[in-house]
């Protein structure tokens, strides 16, 4: 934790908490004036299962979860706001991981025993974007394979 600079804290908070506000504001205004819509935030399991090496990121994603719920109330009933709280997915970022060590750790720390594949998030995203979720706002869906 000592190696995390204030500048890094500020950058992580800015990207994950501050940036969605102005980005969403324009969308909400258009959606609210038109026929409504759905906004989907992407959070992280780190928001509720932080470790010492990712505290700025975990705090930022916890803030995004809070904003998701608050924005859902603020912009209802025409705009729905939800989030997917992703666990470890084997995307481009995982190329920097020691995948052998990750696989070993996943067997004991993830109920499904593995990381997620990118196509496994599609169904959840489509649900939130579609009329199927017309009675769903302020939800933060854990999509993490059962991270313990």
pLDDT for residue 34: 82
Does the residue 133 lie in any domain? yes
Does the residue 80 lie in any domain? yes
Q: How many domains does the chain have?
A: 1
**Is 127 an annotated catalytic residue?**
no
What average pLDDT does the structure give for the chain? 92
Residue 4 in contact with residue 57, Cβ under 8 Å? no
Rounded to two decimals, the pTM is: 0.90
Q: At what angle do helices 20-33 and 55-75 cross, to 10 degrees?
A: 20
Does the residue 12 lie in any domain? yes
pLDDT for residue 125: 98
pLDDT for residue 119: 96
CA–CA distance, 8 with 109 (Å, rounded to integer): 28
CATH of the domain at 74: 3.40.50.720
Q: What is the mean pLDDT of each run of 10 residues along the chain (148 residues)?
A: 82 87 75 87 96 92 95 92 97 92 96 97 97 97 96
Give the rounded distance of the alpha carbon of 90 from its chain centre.
Answer: 15
Burial degree of 147 (CB within 10 A; 0-12, 13-18, 19+): middle
pLDDT for residue 147: 95
pLDDT for residue 77: 93
Does the residue 35 lie in any domain? yes
pLDDT for residue 97: 93
Does the residue 1 lie in any domain? no
Does the residue 148 lie in any domain? no
Does the residue 82 lie in any domain? yes
Burial degree of 87 (CB within 10 A; 0-12, 13-18, 19+): buried
Does the residue 95 lie in any domain? yes
Active-site residue (options: 28, 57, 71, 127)? 57
Domain region containing 75: 6-143
């Amino acid at each position: 934790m000592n190696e995390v600079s204030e500048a890094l804290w500020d950058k992580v908070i800015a990207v994950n908490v501050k940036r969605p506000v102005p980005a969403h504001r324009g969308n909400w205004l258009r959606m609210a004036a038109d026929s409504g819509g759905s906004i989907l935030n992407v959070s992280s399991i780190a928001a509720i299962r932080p470790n010492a090496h990712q505290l700025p990121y975990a705090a930022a994603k916890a803030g995004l979860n809070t904003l998701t719920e608050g924005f859902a109330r603020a912009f209802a009933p025409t705009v729905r706001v939800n989030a997917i709280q992703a666990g470890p997915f084997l995307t481009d970022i995982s190329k920097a991981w020691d995948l052998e060590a990750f696989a070993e750790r996943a067997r004991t720390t993830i109920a499904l025993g593995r990381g997620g594949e990118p196509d496994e998030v599609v169904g959840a995203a489509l649900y939130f974007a579609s009329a199927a979720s017309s009675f769903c706002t302020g939800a933060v869906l854990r999509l993490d394979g059962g991270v313990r």
